[in-house]
Structure 1
């Protein structure tokens, strides 16, 4: 698959030179935040990891620790996120969602519904190594009921999610009513490939006359409803799901900075170009301009390619 991210490798990259530019930006009175932001957002994640290595060689200390000591607030959170490898970032976000005060269900839903089987396998490994616990155990300890059941199913990716032609028969037998057999719908959503689910949703519409999303909204509530809807939307189109999530994060009373930042950072090298196209199509506005209005600092991420 071609990279549909807006962040690409920087041409004429020189990790040693970049490490020195960052060092100079942090030295002396005041910190040149614009320099730091422009440099980091115009390098790919792999290149940022190389800069970290060169910085440690030259200055004997960790670049992220140095940046943290100079920065603060949302800007610090953003820079630290940009400096993490993508899988480590996902694992850290899940850990924070589970280990903070209460559980941030929205983060669990967003990451587990949207990542590929291969990514989830890697997240589980990195979570154990870097967060010191088992992801499944932590989710089980912090969630309950069918919400927990579907989350755990999404973690079970030892094999590619399978297809089962009986799914369409099951839906026809239930006359397409989610509420009549929630367990069966959860089993289908948690154990099937996106390609197969799209066929199931088509059959569902023919049998019931409704979109699956409308039926889920009518039959379930709360975090289970949100998780089921996220799985359905990601099966149909992951970039469209993120375009909607970005729009919602900016529609709330006061921007949901954490969600906005998490999506921009995590999708920057995968499908941001597709997300921006869906955003324009769905909301008739440029994603770049919309973010610029909401938060000037974040809008410079991928500024050349979002607009």
Structure 2
């Protein structure tokens, strides 16, 4: 069984390893919670949100050994709706969870470009390589091939660069090159009639994060506009959305996810798919920082937003992943 690596764990998560952990005890408690006359949802929530992903992987393995069945299958047969979805999601190894989300975003007649953008813009090279490897094992196809057949033009080119994990990760920054890149971006957009989208794709998707931060500052000195404003005025459609997501993740990844959560929670209906995905995948990485950014953005806490927009066992699970009210 694949296990979580430090690649998927950060110091600003709300979910940590449970001290005094026993996979056998937890597996037995879960079996009791779902195999009795009625389901003990509180017990499930307590265990699933009180253990790290690595510990959940160990529980699932122990459950199969002890009871001869896949824990995921028993959950699916006993639960339903959003609560089932979040519980099963918490049981998945992070790279598999992302791979399944990517597959789902490209499945069928329509593509969920926003989910595709969210994942590819926010993962680093090592994470993307693990996701691509897991995608092939789980889906029997190459991630790059599916992206190629599901997208077109510069949008496809940018997605493929990100999916293949080709970003420079050198921590040293060449100041002169950053200034040159800023000028290239200005010449490719604001300074000319029409836009050279390829120049934006090559720089934003291949340069290192520290390099891009410096480039964005140099760009503002030259253009007197932020790179975000220029992208918004020079481009449109999914390419604009992707490049803006890349810029936001370079500048402040928790703020990017806070914005995504705010969109998922506000309005006439809640986007439970986005809400579940972000709460699950960021709970061990940077949920504390996302909470802070969410409050800056909206004026109220993520905890209170979840309480007002969700209900039942699904709400209780998300509130545990949130970790408290800021």
TM-score band, normalised by shorter chain: over 0.9
Post-superposition offset of 1:146: 1.1
| Correspondent of 2:200 among 176, 185, 201 | 185
Q: Hey, what's the Cα distance between the residues in 2 that align with 1:303 and 1:172?
A: 40
Q: Which residue does 1:22 correspond to in 2?
A: 30
Q: What TM-score comes out, normalization by structure 1 length?
A: 0.94
Identify unmatched segments of 5+ residues in structure 2: 1-8
Q: Does 1:243 align with 2:258?
A: yes
Q: Which residue does 1:300 correspond to in 2?
A: 319
Q: Hey, what's the Cα distance between the residues in 1 that align with 2:23 and 2:127?
A: 27
Q: Which residue does 2:57 correspond to in 1?
A: 49
1:102-142 CA distances to partner (integer Å, 9 max, x unpaired)? Answer: 11111110000000111011111111111110000000001
Post-superposition offset of 1:303: 4.9
| Correspondent of 1:168 among 166, 182, 185 | 182
CA pair 50-306 structure 1, distance change in 2 beyond 3 A? farther
**Alignment map for 1:139-288 (pairs within 5 Å):** 139-158=147-166, 160-161=168-169, 164-165=177-178, 166-174=180-188, 176-177=190-191, 179-288=194-303
Secondary structure of the 1:4 match is coil
Identify unmatched segments of 5+ residues in structure 1: none
Q: Is the 8 A contact 1:189 1:197 kept in 2?
A: yes
**Alignment map for 1:74-153 (pairs within 5 Å):** 74-153=82-161
Q: Hey, what's the Cα distance between the residues in 2 that align with 1:177 and 1:59?
A: 67
1:12-48 CA distances to partner (integer Å, 9 max, x unpaired)? Answer: 1111111111111112222112221221011100010
- How many residues align? The count is 307
CA-based RMSD: 1.9
CA pair 37-101 structure 1, distance change in 2 beyond 3 A? farther
Q: Which moved more, 1:129-138 or 1:156-165?
A: 156-165
Q: Hey, what's the Cα distance between the residues in 2 that align with 1:45 and 1:144?
A: 36
Q: Hey, what's the Cα distance between the residues in 2 that align with 1:272 and 1:172?
A: 35
Post-superposition offset of 1:283: 2.0
Q: What TM-score comes out, normalization by structure 2 length?
A: 0.89
